[in-house]
Chain A
Amino acid sequence: MPKSWRRETKPHKFCPGCGHGIALKALGQAIDELGLQGIAVFGCDIGCSLLAWDFFDLDTVQTHHGRTIPVMVGLKRARPELICIAYMGDGGGYAIGAQHLVNAATRNEKITAILINNTQYGMTGGQMAPTTLPGQKTETTPYGRDPEITGYPTQGPEMVAAITDERAYVARGTVARPGQLREFFKRALQNQIDGRGFSFVEVISACPTNWRTNAKETWEWVEKLMPTYFRVGELKVPEALRGKGVEVKDGETS
């Protein structure tokens, strides 16, 4: 258990098989290894991510509707010495809160944004998200998502990489490779520690509850299906971070 986890609130509140626990473990390890417990502030959103409001021994604020980015931006501007982590789901980052992600990235806000992509809205009961896969059945696409009507899955990190300057760090990790994910988080946080700029990590995650998948099907989904739409790896690495830490190779597991 990472040192920065709050033992009193464990076991955590997420559903069995949920990817949040793995992502938050990797984040906890990254915070531990960088020694950030005394200066990191964790902001979480509405939706499943709100269940992390007392997850860490870190000062934490839970907000709603994709507003975790502006809360962390406001905090970072007011207290630049703090390490501000905005943690959200795909709705908070790509739908209802997309304007905040886009503009924080454009302004090169010196925060770290982490977005959990589980291809649908978990907390509200499994509706379509911007990340829902073509053909995927959700409560609001009961016959499968038709890209002609609702478009293709949002390529979040690709978008953020395109609109940020060279100081930004952008990666997409997966809960299927927690070791690699931890390294991505460390590099994203290091980018903030160094005061370079915006850092963004999307995490491919699992929602067996709303996917209605068993363990085997869940992992096939995460490991095989989702990476066909969402490429895992680092999309943008500032010069100062190159050659350090992980280099990502296709098919790597850790």
Chain B
Amino acid sequence: MTGNEVVAWAALAAGAEIMYGYPITPQNEIMHYWTRLAPKYGRMFLQTEDELSAGFTTIGGVMGGRRAFTATAGPGNVLMQEPMAMAEMMRLPVVVIIMQRGGPSTGTVIYSQQEVTLTTLGGNGEGFRIVYSTAGNQELFDYVIKAFNTAWKYRFPTFVLGDGYQAKMREPLVIYDPEIRGLSPVPTEPFLGKPGVPGVDRLPGHYRNTYNTEEELYEVIMGLARAYEAIIPEVVEFEEEAVEGAELLVMSHGVVSRAVKSAVRALRRDGYPVGYFRPITLRPLPVEAMRRRAEKVRRILVAESAYGQFARLVKEALYGLQVEIVPLFKPGLGINPEEIYSRAQELIKGGEKGAEHIAATHA
């Protein structure tokens, strides 16, 4: 089954009640499959007039206490940032699936990892949101289910960041009932339209994202920041392999990490001391784990299908450490294991000379 189909099945398994969506390639089949499944399982769908509306109707659904979600890509993700900034301000458990395509602007309809900055930090504000970067169809299934629970448990907008390759490729999948794996759906609760008459039986729910004074806004943002900081240890996820004794660490996220893992296994087999590290949560980043690994290596090769969006996150996380960061940036292009293998081999063999050259290039 394709990744887009997987998302529809996962949303169904997660107990999603309503999807609001607007077509944009390469994520269209999410709504194609959802609209075929939804009536059979008593779920709802609305095709909106644009992504602004898809985001804001999702907010309306969530505020009504429904497990609501949307999906988008590329320029649609740009438009989606306006509603997501509001969701961030109000701490609304909105779930958004992003299937990255090439950019900027229309770009290509196929593949990239160029929506990292936009998805992790997009919108006016501080980017208090949770972003899972998946690497294939099984993870899409697992993390779409997880995203609904994370969103409703912690009440921050939650994104599953896939890509055009994952959206379209077919892979085997284990479909399961989350309950059987102990993943009971986190209960939802309405923000608007709670029982009782407001002002008579209870206080009215007054939700706003406008503030009159700087001090008032400061208090609200600092409250969000404290809440966000507090959940980081519970939320961060990463994966690592062959890190013991590594001199070079290859960092990547999403689908590229599969090529990296494959290359690292081959490099190890051939006697090169190369390790693999992959953050699964791009926001919040597993900073402590990244620093722990980075401290033990001389260099880090960052492989991504973008021009340094992920590397920027890595550099910030590793700020102050004496480790060299070497780029392997291919915006909009896929990266295969052979490229990673040969680049890592060069770096190991090249020694200091190679490093200087690379450092200069990177600067």
Contact = CB atoms under 8 A, between A and B. Distances in A.
A46 B210 contact: yes
B200 A79 contact: no
B241 to A, nearest CB: 42
B65 interface: yes
Contact of B60 (A4, A37, A72, A99): A72
A37 B68 contact: no
Contact of B63 (A58, A61, A100): A61
Interface in B202-216: 204-210
Interface stretch (B98-106, B140-148, B191-199): B191-199
Contacts, number: 145
A230 B169 CA distance: 56
- Which of the four size classes fits the interface of chain B? 35 or more
B199 A78 contact: no
B30 to A, nearest CB: 18
A123 to B, nearest CB: 10
Interface string A52-89: 01101111111111010011111111110110000000
Contacts of A37: 197-200
Contacts of B90: 61
Contacts of A59: 191-194, 198, 204-206
A61 B50 contact: no
B64 interface: yes
Contact of A62 (B193, B197, B208): B208
Interface size class of A (residues with CB under 8 A): 35 or more
A99 B49 contact: yes
B195 to A, nearest CB: 9
Interface stretch (B51-59, B173-181, B247-255, B330-338): B51-59
A61 B20 CA distance: 19
Nearest to A96: B52
B350 interface: no
The SS class assigned to the A binding surface is mixed
Given A4-B199, A67-B83, A82-B64, A75 B210 contact: no
Nearest to B194: A59
A74 B207 contact: no
Residue from A4, A77, A102, A103 with most neighbouring chain B CB atoms (10 Å): A77
A50 interface: yes
Given A39-B193, A70-B52, A79-B190, A57 B204 contact: yes
Interface centre among A39, A56, A73 (most CB of B within 10 A): A73
A70 B63 CA distance: 12
Interface in B54-89: 56-61, 63-66, 68, 82-83, 86
Contacts of B196: 38
Contacts of A65: 82
Interface in B273-308: none
Contact of A71 (B44, B46, B49, B63): B63
A223 B22 CA distance: 43
B71 to A, nearest CB: 15
Nearest to B46: A77
Among B49, B57, B61, B83, which residue has the most Cβ atoms of chain A within 10 A? B57
Contacts of B193: 39, 41, 59, 75, 79, 81-82
Contact of A74 (B49, B50, B61): B61
Contact of A76 (B60, B190, B205): B60
B60 A73 contact: yes
Given A70-B56, A99-B50, A60 B205 contact: yes
15 contacts: A50-B208, A57-B198, A57-B200, A58-B198, A59-B204, A62-B208, A62-B209, A70-B48, A71-B63, A74-B61, A74-B63, A75-B64, A78-B17, A102-B49, A103-B53
Given A61-B191, A99-B50, 4 more contacts: A60-B206, A61-B90, A77-B60, A82-B193
